[in-house]
Amino acid sequence: MRATRKNQRVGLLLGRARNVSAYPDIRDDWLGSGRVLRVELLLLFRDMGSVEDDTSLVERGLLEDERSKQYTGDGSVDFKGEPVLKQKTGNWRACPFILGNECCERLAYYGIAANLVTYLTTKLHQGNVAAATNVTTWQGTCYLTPLIGAVLADAYWGRYWTIAVFSTIYFLGMCTLTLSASVPALKPAECVGSFCPSATPAQYAVFFFGLYLIALGTGGIKPCVSSFGADQFDDTDPRERMKKGSFFNWFYFSINIGALVSSSLIVWIQENAGWGLGFGIPALFMGLAILFFFIGTPLYRFQKPGGSPITRMCQVVVASFHKRNLEVPVDSSLLYETPDKSSAIEGSRKLDHSDELKFLDKAAIVSDVESKRGDYSNSWRLCTVTQVEELKILIRMFPVWATGIVFSAVYAQMSTMFVEQGTLMDTSIGSFTIPPASLSSFDVISVIFWVPVYDRVIVPIARKFTGKERGFSELQRMGIGLFISVLCMSAAAILEIKRLQLARELDLVDKAVAVPLSIFWQIPQYFLLGAAEVCTFIGQLEFFYDQSPDAMRSLCSALSLLTTSLGNYLSSFILTLVTYFTTQGGHTGWIPDNLNEGHLDYFFWLLAGLSFLNLLVYTVCASRYKQKKAS
């Protein structure tokens, strides 16, 4: 009778324990109760001597379950390579160091980028088109080199050490650039009247060497920092997974805090206190960025590198070509996959088979020869389903990725044509002169405004209508941003029409002087660009992290940054074509050195039209995209 009552008590407690663990929403609220239940169960089992064997199994299971909930379930480890406790590492407790690092690094970057076109025209004495081309080419390189850092991070070093090594290179580049602007022998002499001496080859060499060291350094940091921050949230924990969406918003927020300081204070220092100091302060903040990053080391969660993703993709292509004559089985379960619970790729979950791009499935067909020998070790002849799906995911992402290039070309105008437009507008407020490049601070203010509004207001409202935990899907969010970019370029074109009209009315067309139109009329185009950023760039960060295979997240983050690189190159290419075709027959062209003689408005309308066509293509690509499915 007594044993029966104990059995009933055990059944009741087990039922309560299941209820506590089965529902994520109540599990955390009742975590203390869950532990009490487990303790009660263990005590009862110890008292029931008649079921000792079964009890020991259940006891071990309960203890294992309790232990597993204390550790992350995504395979992350601590700095020593040991499994990490959830309560002591990662999550928001590790993020301040990552966000602080990103804020300081972006302050350093924008401290150079925001006003670089002005330095090239006023100190190195380059023309408008040459300066704008140099800026966009350098910015394009800054977003091309992340491919190098991504491959090193995913394949060999891991994200932490890749950030550490490339941050050092970055800092050296900042110091070199500061010297080139400070030492008299390393910079050209000042203009005398209308005569401006050109920089010597040696002066150009030192300046561009420092500039492209920065481009290499940022290449190792950019694809890794956002992914490293997202790694601090356990994908297998529903509550942590939801926080990851907020992390990307606040990550972008920290970027723009750094950019705000650069586009306002640093730009003012450069134009009023000197370029040596104006480049030296960003170099100092880059040193602080490195310090912030290392301080947080004990709190970080680390994902192990899974081997070269490029090698794995090549293996799929080679294996599928080698087996091109074999038929893909109708039953996908016959395709090769490891029998283990975990994937054969270090640090990656298994991916479910998808029905598209079936020719790649041939790489996972087990041939008769392989079946007879029982040898499945040659990855150049036989790949797992997960490995095949990695390549499929990248191919599916490609159309969505490609549509980001035109948006990045629009974004590149903020540091080139928007600045040059502003130089021929009224930049004075009383006795105070506003540097045209500092107007980009309104883009930053827009981002700083929209990030918390989006995260705290728009997402909860949208969640009620869409049922999505993040309010809008990543693809929907990016589409909204592309639409806003059309409005941004239209606003810039309309302002330029008004500016040129004033230049004609006041007979200033032949004079490279500012028209009496306040530079603050540029605020709408900057504000619209900031709203577009919050939707498109943050949407890209989320999309390429969430949809990428686990062991290729740095690479996919680099691919999202590559759109910025190609966008800058596209901007340079469009500028070159526009200059070539509009200057035929001796015409001044759309973008002459004296913009009062040109038609910069036509250039802005051209980008608005390209953005609209890009939006239409994106809508088709996004509607056809199939989401990743991981085990």
DSSP 552-596: GHHHHHHHHHHHHHHHHHHHHHHHHHHHHHHTGGG---SS-SSGG
- Structure confidence at residue 20 as a pLDDT band (50, 70, 90): very low
Residue bearing the bigger pLDDT, 528 or 151 = 528
Q: At what angle do helices 553-582 and 404-411 cross, to 10 degrees?
A: 60
Evaluate whether 382 touches 376 at the Cβ level (below 8 Å).
yes
Q: What pLDDT is attached to residue 609?
A: 94
Q: At what angle do helices 523-546 and 440-453 cross, to 10 degrees?
A: 50
Q: What pLDDT is attached to residue 510?
A: 84
380-397: average pLDDT: 89
Q: What pLDDT is attached to residue 511?
A: 83
Tell whether the model's pLDDT for residue 573 goes beyond 80: yes
CA dihedral 307, 308, 314, 320 (to 10 degrees): 20
Q: Taking the CB of residue 333, how many other CB atoms lie within 10 A of it?
A: 8
Q: What pLDDT is attached to residue 284?
A: 92
CA distance 262 to 580: 34
In terms of residues, how long is the chain? 631
Contacts of 502 (CB under 8 A, 6+ apart): 508, 515, 516, 517
Q: What pLDDT is attached to residue 562?
A: 81
Paired tokens of 332? 């996908």
Among 160, 156, 206, 163, smallest CA distance to 184 is for: 206
Residue bearing the bigger pLDDT, 582 or 54 = 582
352-374: average pLDDT: 85
CA distance 538 to 474: 9
CA distance 485 to 426: 25
Contacts of 283 (CB under 8 A, 6+ apart): 108, 171, 174, 175, 177, 178
Tell whether the model's pLDDT for residue 170 goes beyond 90: yes
Residue bearing the bigger pLDDT, 241 or 154 = 154
- Structure confidence at residue 423 as a pLDDT band (50, 70, 90): confident
Exposure class string for 107-133: b at 16+ Cβ within 10 A, else e: bbbbbbbbbbbbbbbbbbbbebbebbb
Among 416, 421, 411, 408, smallest CA distance to 133 is for: 416
Among the ranges given (148-152, 189-193, 300-304), the one the predictor scored with the smallest mean pLDDT? 189-193
Tell whether the model's pLDDT for residue 68 goes beyond 60: no
CA distance 451 to 575: 32
Exposure class string for 213-243: b at 16+ Cβ within 10 A, else e: bbbbbbbbbbbbbbbbbbbbbbbebeebbee
Paired residues of 302 in beta bridges:
77
Q: Among 82-91, 300-309, 387-396, 451-460, which range has the highest average pLDDT?
A: 387-396
CA distance 89 to 106: 25
CA distance 226 to 229: 5
Among 74, 65, 69, 24, smallest CA distance to 630 is for: 74
Q: Where does residue 58 fall: left (phi above 0), alpha (psi -120 to 50 degrees), or beta otherwise?
A: alpha
Q: What is the pLDDT of residues 243-296, one digit of tens each?
A: 777 788 888 888 878 888 887 788 888 888 888 899 999 999 999 889 888 998
156-181: average pLDDT: 90
Q: What pLDDT is attached to residue 17?
A: 46
Q: What pLDDT is attached to residue 631?
A: 63
Q: What pLDDT is attached to residue 308?
A: 79
Q: Where does residue 353 fall: left (phi above 0), alpha (psi -120 to 50 degrees), or beta otherwise?
A: beta
Tell whether the model's pLDDT for residue 1 goes beyond 70: no
Tell whether the model's pLDDT for residue 337 goes beyond 70: yes
User: Please, what is the average pLDDT of the chain?
Assistant: 81
Q: What pLDDT is attached to residue 304?
A: 78
Evaluate whether 558 touches 149 at the Cβ level (below 8 Å).
yes
Tell whether the model's pLDDT for residue 543 goes beyond 60: yes
In a 13 Å sphere around the CA of 169, the CA atoms on its Cβ side amount to 20
CA distance 229 to 571: 31
Paired tokens of 158? 């891991």
Q: What is the pLDDT of residues 117-149, one digit of tens each?
A: 888 888 887 777 788 788 878 887 887 888 888
589-610: average pLDDT: 89
AA letter at 26 = I
CA distance 103 to 111: 12
AA letter at 456 = R
Paired tokens of 569? 């190159």
Q: Tokens 């003689």 label which residue?
A: 597
Q: What is the pLDDT of residues 25-51, one digit of tens each?
A: 433 433 344 444 444 444 444 454 444
Paired tokens of 540? 């890209």
CA distance 315 to 333: 21
Q: What pLDDT is attached to residue 586?
A: 77
Q: Among 228-237, 349-358, 492-501, which range has the highest average pLDDT?
A: 492-501
Q: What pLDDT is attached to residue 22?
A: 40
Q: What pLDDT is attached to residue 59?
A: 52
- Structure confidence at residue 65 as a pLDDT band (50, 70, 90): low
Tell whether the model's pLDDT for residue 12 goes beyond 80: no
Question: What is the separation of C-alpha 615 from the centre of its chain, rounded to a whole number of angstroms?
Answer: 20
Radius of gyration of the chain (CA): 29
Evaluate whether 157 touches 149 at the Cβ level (below 8 Å).
no
H helix intervals, 48-157: 52-70, 91-113, 116-122, 128-142, 146-152
Q: Taking the CB of residue 481, how many other CB atoms lie within 10 A of it?
A: 23
Tell whether the model's pLDDT for residue 221 goes beyond 60: yes
| C-alpha distances in Å from residue 532, one per residue of 216, 237, 478, 538, 571 | 27, 31, 8, 10, 18
Q: Among 57-66, 74-83, 485-494, which range has the highest average pLDDT?
A: 485-494
Among 348, 457, 323, smallest CA distance to 336 is for: 323
Q: What pLDDT is attached to residue 494?
A: 94
AA letter at 94 = A
Q: Taking the CB of residue 414, how many other CB atoms lie within 10 A of it?
A: 23
Question: Which domains does the chain show, CATH number per domain?
Answer: 74-305 (1.20.1250.20), 309-389 (no CATH), 392-630 (1.20.1250.20)
Q: What pLDDT is attached to residue 27?
A: 39
Among 555, 562, 565, smallest CA distance to 156 is for: 555
Tell whether the model's pLDDT for residue 209 goes beyond 50: yes
